[in-house]
Amino acid sequence: MNSRDPRRRVLTAEDLTYIGQRLRILDPFPGVRPWNRATLWSAVLDEHMAATKPRDSEAFRELVGALRVLDVLDRDFLRK
């Protein structure tokens, strides 16, 4: 973010890439480096479709939670 004024706060795609890289849960998925929201969501949903164990479904819920937070940052703070 490059401004302390809450009305002028913005992130760049590089900022979201950095945040996504810091979330180790997203490491195996494409779309983090470089930031691509659609690719990342697609990869996570593909992972869910391949899930066969309850443990996999729990991991999917954690991934969706992380992606929702990133979506808020993308929607509200990313410079378009």
Candidates 4, 9, 8, 34; CA nearest to 19 is 34
Give the domain ranges of the chain. 13-77
> In whole angstroms, what is the distance from residue 40 CA to residue 33 CA?
10
Range in 5-9, 21-25, 52-56, 73-77 with the lowest mean pLDDT? 5-9
Phi, psi (deg, nearest 5) at residue 78: -75, 130
Residue 69 token pair: 């937070």
d(CA 27, CA 63): 11
Q: What is the dihedral of CA 56, 40, 45, 42, to 10 degrees?
A: -150
Q: Which pLDDT tens digit goes with each residue over 13-60?
A: 899 899 989 988 898 899 888 989 899 999 999 988 888 888 888 888
Q: What is the pTM of this model?
A: 0.76
